[in-house]
């Protein structure tokens, strides 16, 4: 577009408080982005590129592919900001839900069939503990880790395999040698416990 | 079905089960509430795995936004829009209605009091309105400040934002607009009651680092400076106080740091006929 070379507005944003304020600020920024504000989008990028790229890479592993998917997700934030409805959840959740789902969909479409199953069988659970050069985590991230550690082993392993590993719950059941119904229940119970531990507002 | 909320929130359902669950979700408010909370929780799991993206990614994404058209809001969806923005949009729309017959004309009064429904112009010129709406949002948000600011600067910026908002909200607010000779446009919202005017520039060409745009209130007794517009800002905004009918808002190009009186021919003047 013709204004590509033009510097953009530097607007005074409302005071970004540490935690709550940030979330509020994000909803505000997304409303601006919906109206075509590139500057607001830069601020959204600054807040979310790390978690988006981090979670995508956690699932996909391959850096080049992760970058590609993370870019798609962030561009989708720009494209569909008008569809974000703050009444239905936080901006962080909106973006990261999209990021995780894209990563998982990419895995599933590529691994349809036996290749995936072989992989499932050969990969160790502990691999989902960490990926290298994870940014030193925010307070919120640290709290999430603590809460995750406070769950029972079966709960936290199920959640890690499902979320960080990108496995479906039947795959998780297979990996853990547990009944399907048990895994479904553990995932839900564990997440609810985490939610309460973190004081997340629904 | 309900036990699937957790697996759904973690994207751990297969394609078919996901579709079925989403269908169920539409008719299950308690599931919706639970899924919402679990999505928030899952987002924290993602935050716990934040990683530094490759350096070139930001540039790629930002560049791509300029090539990517945005989706319109869904029908029936209410966008958050505060009163002030709506009001300003009306002012701008009134100006557009007034301006449409002679697009290249000189500044003229607009009418928020015109009977000529602003809703029509809204529809007739969506692209222009979109651009103006973006400027409205900017106007409502505040004035241009540099990224690094001291607390004092921030405080005074907030105070100025509030003062600008007050002008935009004034019952007698009027809008005047004119193109600038070097390109871009100047829009002035003026309130006679408050004797204040909000000067907004948009699309003015960037200047070399040794030059700035300086805004003046020009009256029969001379010109006094309102302030400088950083030439790195695409949209600039300043508040002029103590204005009265008959004054003009003028913008000149001056050496960086500004001058005590205009030294060049104004690139734009806007008469204040309150």
B206-261 pLDDT, tens digit each: 888 788 889 999 988 888 998 888 655 556 778 888 898 888 999 998 888 888 88
**Which residue in B has a C-alpha nearest to residue A64's C-alpha?**
B54
Are B89 and B184 members of one domain?
yes
* Contact criterion met (CB < 8 Å) for A75 and B65: yes
- Looking at the structure, tell me whether residues B10 and B109 fall in a common domain: no
The whole-angstrom distance between B221's CA and the closest CA on chain A is 33
> Is position B255 within any domain?
yes
Contact B273, B109 (CB under 8 A): yes
- Residue B232 touches chain A, beta carbons under 8 Å: yes
Residues B93 and B49 in one domain: no
Please state the φ and ψ torsions of residue A17, each to the nearest 5 degrees.
-70, 175
Cβ distance of B50 and A100 shorter than 8 Å: no
CA distance B64 to A79: 10
Closest CA to B84 of B144, B165, B12, B172: B165
CA distance A97 to chain B (A): 7
Q: How far is CA A169 from CA A69, A188, B143, B239, in A?
A: 23, 11, 51, 59
Q: Is residue B125 part of a domain?
A: yes
A67: how many CB neighbours lie within 10 A of its CB?
Answer: 19
Assess whether B112 and B204 both reside in one domain: yes
- A2 in B contact zone (CB under 8 Å): no
Determine the pLDDT at residue B115: 33
End of a domain among B53, B75, B96? B53
Are B204 and B183 spatial neighbours (Cβ–Cβ below 8 Å)?
Answer: yes
Number of domains in chain B: 2
Token pair listed for B16: 């078919």
- Phi, psi for residue A32 in degrees, rounded to 5: -70, -45
Mean pLDDT by 10 residues, chain A (202 residues): 41 38 74 94 94 96 95 97 92 97 92 53 46 62 91 96 96 96 96 90 52
> In this structure, are B111 and B27 located in the same domain?
no
What pTM, to 2 d.p., does this model score?
0.55
My answer on whether B38 and B109 are in the same domain is: no
Instruction: Please indicate if any CB of chain B lies within 8 Å of the CB of A128.
Output: no
Residues in A touching B154 (Cβ below 8 Å): 12, 15
> In terms of domains, do B121 and B201 share one?
yes
Among A38, A55, A89, select the one facing B49 at the smallest CB separation.
A55
Q: Per-residue b/e over B19-29, b at no fewer than 16 CB within 10 Å? A: eebeeebeebe
Q: Do B154 and A15 touch (CB under 8 A)?
A: yes
Q: Which of residues 46-75 of A touch B (CB under 8 A)?
A: 49-55, 57-58, 63, 67, 70-71, 74-75
Domains A16-110 and A114-202 share a fold: no
Beta-carbon separation of B51 and A93 below 8 A: no
**Contact at CB, A75 and B64, closer than 8 angstroms:** yes
Same domain, residue pair B151 and B220: yes
Q: Is B127 on the interface with A (CB under 8 A)?
A: no
pLDDT at B119 over 90: no
The per-residue pLDDT of chain B, averaged, comes to 73
- CATH number, domain with residue B31: 1.10.10.1320
B96 and B172: one domain?
A: yes
- Average pLDDT in the B11-21 region? 95
Can you give the pLDDT at residue B190?
86
% of chain B surpassing 90 pLDDT:
27
Distance CA B195, CA B155 (A): 23
Domain that holds residue B160: 83-271
Chain B, residues 97-126, CB within 8 A of chain A, namely: none
Which candidate, B272, B99, B97, B94, places its Cα nearest to that of B198?
B272
Q: Does any domain span residue B73?
A: no
- Same domain? For B113 and B176 the reply is yes
pLDDT score for B186? 84
What residue of B is the nearest CA neighbor of A30? B80
Asked whether the beta carbons of residue A12 and residue B158 sit closer than 8 angstroms, the reply is: yes
Q: What is the pLDDT of residue B60?
A: 94
- Helix/strand/coil for A33: helix
The verdict on B204 and B105 lying in the same domain is yes
CATH architecture of A16-110: Orthogonal Bundle (1.10)
**Residues contacting residue B51 through CB under 8 Å, at least 6 positions apart:** A50, A53, A54, A57, A58, A131, A133, A134, A135
Domain ranges of chain A: 16-110, 114-202
pLDDT of residue B150 exceeding 50? no
Q: Are residues B238 and B150 in the same domain?
A: yes
Of the candidates A47, A90, A98, A114, the residue with the CA atom closest to the CA atom of residue A202: A90
Q: Which CATH class is domain A114-202?
A: mainly alpha
* Whole-number Å distance between alpha carbons of B92 and B101: 15
Q: Which of A3, A5, A12, A59 to mutate to test the interface with B (most CBs of B within 10 A)?
A: A12
pLDDT of the residue at A38: 93
Of B44-53, B70-79, B146-155, B158-167, least confident by mean pLDDT is B146-155
Alpha helices (H) in chain A, listed in sequence order: 20-34, 38-60, 63-79, 91-110, 114-122, 139-149, 153-159, 169-176, 180-198
Residue B231 lies in a domain: yes
Helix axes A38-60, A63-79, angle to 10 degrees: 140
* pLDDT for the residue numbered B107: 38
Q: Cβ contact (<8 Å) for A188 and B33? A: no
Residue B67 falls within a domain, yes or no?
no
Which of A31, A36, A45 is facing B70, going by the closest CB pair?
A: A36
pLDDT reported for residue A35 = 94
Question: Please, which pLDDT band fits residue B100 given cuts at 50, 70 and 90?
Answer: very low
Contacts across the A-B interface (CB distance below 8 Å) = 277
State how far the Cα of A80 lies from the Cα of B73, in Å rounded to an integer: 8
């Amino acid at each position: 577009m013709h204004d590509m070379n033009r510097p953009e507005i530097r607007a005074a944003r409302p005071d970004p408080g540490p935690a709550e304020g940030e979330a509020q600020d994000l909803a505000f920024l997304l409303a601006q982005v919906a109206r075509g504000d590139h500057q607001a989008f830069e601020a959204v990028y600054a807040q979310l590129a790390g978690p988006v790229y981090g979670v995508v890479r956690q699932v996909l592993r391959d850096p080049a592919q992760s970058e590609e998917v993370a870019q798609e997700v962030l561009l989708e934030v720009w494209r569909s900001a008008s569809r974000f409805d703050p009444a239905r959840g936080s901006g962080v959740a909106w973006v990261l839900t999209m990021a995780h789902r894209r990563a998982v969909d990419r895995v599933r479409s590529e691994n349809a069939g036996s290749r995936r199953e072989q992989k499932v069988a050969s990969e160790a659970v502990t691999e989902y503990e960490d990926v290298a050069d994870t940014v030193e985590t925010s307070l919120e991230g640290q709290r999430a880790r603590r809460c995750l550690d406070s769950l029972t082993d079966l709960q936290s392993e199920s959640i890690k395999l499902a979320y960080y590993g990108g496995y479906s719950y039947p795959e998780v059941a297979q990996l853990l040698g547990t009944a399907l119904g048990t895994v479904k229940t553990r995932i839900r119970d564990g997440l609810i416990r985490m939610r309460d531990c973190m004081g997340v507002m629904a | 079905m309900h036990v699937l909320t957790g697996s759904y929130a973690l994207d751990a359902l297969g394609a078919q089960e996901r579709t079925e669950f989403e269908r169920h979700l539409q008719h299950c408010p308690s599931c919706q509430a639970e899924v919402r909370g679990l999505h928030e929780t899952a987002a924290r799991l993602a935050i716990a795995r934040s990683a530094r993206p490759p350096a070139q990614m930001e540039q790629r994404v930002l560049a791509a936004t300029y090539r990517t058209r945005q989706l319109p809001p869904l029908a029936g969806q209410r966008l958050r829009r505060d009163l002030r923005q709506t009001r300003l949009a009306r002012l701008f729309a009134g100006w557009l209605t007034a301006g449409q017959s002679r697009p290249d004309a000189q500044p003229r009064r607009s009418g928020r009091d015109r009977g000529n429904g602003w809703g029509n112009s809204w529809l007739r010129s969506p692209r222009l309105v979109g651009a103006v709406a973006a400027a409205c949002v900017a106007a409502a948000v505040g004035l241009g400040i540099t990224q690094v600011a001291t607390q004092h600067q921030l405080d005074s910026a907030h105070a100025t934002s509030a003062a600008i908002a007050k002008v935009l909200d004034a019952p007698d607010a009027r809008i005047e607009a004119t193109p600038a000779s070097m390109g871009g446009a100047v829009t002035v919202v003026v309130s006679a009651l408050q004797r204040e005017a909000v000067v907004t520039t948009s699309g003015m060409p960037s200047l070399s680092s040794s030059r700035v745009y300086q805004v003046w209130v020009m009256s029969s007794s001379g010109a006094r400076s309102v302030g400088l517009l950083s030439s790195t800002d695409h949209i600039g905004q300043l508040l002029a106080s103590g204005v009265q009918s008959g004054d003009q808002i003028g913008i000149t190009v001056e050496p960086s740091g500004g001058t005590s009186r205009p030294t060049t021919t104004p690139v734009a003047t806007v008469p204040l006929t309150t």
